[in-house]
Structure 1
Amino acid sequence: MVLVTAGVVVAWPAAEKHLSALPFLDSVIAALTPSAPVWPLTGVPADAVADRSALAVKIENSADARPQTGLTAADVVWEQVVEGGITRFVAVYHSDLPPEIGPVRSIRPMDTAIAAPLGGLLAFSGGVPPYVTAAQDAGLQVLSQDSGADGFHRTSTRTAPHNVYAVPQTLVGQADAAHRASPGAQFDHPAAGEQPTAFAEGQPTATLELTLSGVSHPRWAWSDADGRWLRSEGSTPAVEADGMRIGATNVVVLRVDVVATEARDPAGNPVPDTILTGTGRALVASGGHAVEATWSKPGTDDRVTLTGADGAPVTLAPGPTWVELVPNSGGAVATG
């Protein structure tokens, strides 16, 4: 069957079963216009791509931090396990700089490997010196609230330490000459006339049930009406402070080793480190479908690459992506 969308004729295998995903398909086909510039982190078309650095910001995800502000504007969000089994996010902004983001929290050891391939800015509220030094040594410009960087403020509507917020435009405006360039693409997107890999080759998938720890159970459900995956914290829908539902065009699950470091938090819990170099299993979900893959990241400065069983690159649909770092030990992934 041939599907005609947005004035483009595309051959879609068994296209009838995909008609309910038209909002998703329209965004895919619009992004495949060869002459259109695209935002490097999302693959979404743009009239012009702003020549500015990528901004990676550490965002809290404890119960006291919810609902957060500014997550839906991020191009990419990484979720990681930290001490006590709770999770935190590294939200990456480039195509959209919202008025405010937060709550902002402190740097952790795995943040450098996440942010280094972007070559831009890493913002956080504080952190132990070795973690900050590692980020600087990897070529990142660090902006820390406790070091006096501009753009951070405390809100009176939250109690410390859950009340540090930031203004992305002010943070990006502090980029020095070596950190002002736009980032390179962090994931592959389809060539003109092609579908994202999960949609073309994967299995129909309605839900992703993840276990990151004993207390962290994010859930993603595909919405045909929204053309995206919608996030829940366990059984509770995840929303922003303005009530907007948190969602993503793609969800990328990376199975990773998580090891305890010698550092301890104030409660005595060991600070974990996620090993984000090497290779491992992956699951890529786009357009109500999911496909198994292998992830690879040779070094700290290298981006994550996704490869299918046939050895070909796995491409993502144009749009925001959430990356879930699910531990090999104690973590779990279930699809429905």
Structure 2
Amino acid sequence: MAAAVVAGFALTGTAGPARAQEIELKLSHFLPPGHGIQRDWLQPWAEDLAKRTNGKVKVTIYPGGSPFGNPARQLEQVSSGVVDIAHGLRGLPAGRFPRMGIIEFPFLVQTANAASRTLWDMYPKYFAQEFPDSVKVLALHAHNAGLIHTREKQVKTMDDLKGLRIRSPSPQINAMLQQLGAIPVGLPPGDVYENLQRGVIDGAVFPWDPINSFRLFEVTKYHLDARSYTASFYFVMNKKKYDSLPADVRKAIDDTTGDALAVKFGDWWNAWDAPGLEAARKKGNVITSLTDAERARWRAALKPTIDKLLGDLEKQGVTNARAIYTEMQQRVAKYEGKH
């Protein structure tokens, strides 16, 4: 009997200290695996979590093109527990997170640093209520102010936009483009190349980064640095999964997200934008900027649009929309050194 007990211990491995079971966290996003968001942020973050937890945590990343890469499904996947963590685009599906979406209003912000830090500063008071209780918000951020990229027609002025079909990421940008005379077309980033190539759309609004990561420099010729809008993103985790983790793992997640993460997006987006600008230059594409006079003209033309957007939000129940917009203006001005 004694021999049998010893043999049993040997087979089960219970004769010595039990080995801690590895915790796998599934993380999804909608961008290509070579994008800077995975290369410079998500993958190093995953490795950092493993290091901080002595190998206890393994993060498996599912990028765009994977079964979990649908840009419109990121929040639902986390909320339902299909994945544990996700990075998603606020404007997909349209109408989600209307308070947070105010950061995307025309000519409000120019830098990813100012936009991202403003969003995170204002999250507890204004945006937390927009997210379901089933998720824990790890970060909010936005990209550097975007450009207008076109296939055949160069855009230098508001008049040049008239009648052009331009890909847009959100209702806010739809309203801006309509006011300026263009026809907005809603498309996920991954669908833009083919639609430009086929002439279904005439152009797109993007920062420089996707021009390289989606190779859009191949199907565009002209780039107007309008710096007129941004798009915002969320980084969330399943709340039940987070709560089930050991204390040291939760601490590792907390220490590497939130405030610690918000301050990094400015430098990251500057680095992610650089290859897009370089790719367009190498191809010989034409790159121009709005003149000061034309910028002032666009701003004046868009004042009624901004007022209407705020009024629409108020009608939808966002009664403090104007207060949010004013506070965003103040915080952005502080971070961009405008006062």
User: Normalising by structure 2, what TM-score?
Assistant: 0.25
Report the structure, 1 or 2, having the larger strand content. 1
Report the structure, 1 or 2, having the larger helix content. 2
Bigger Cα Rg: 2
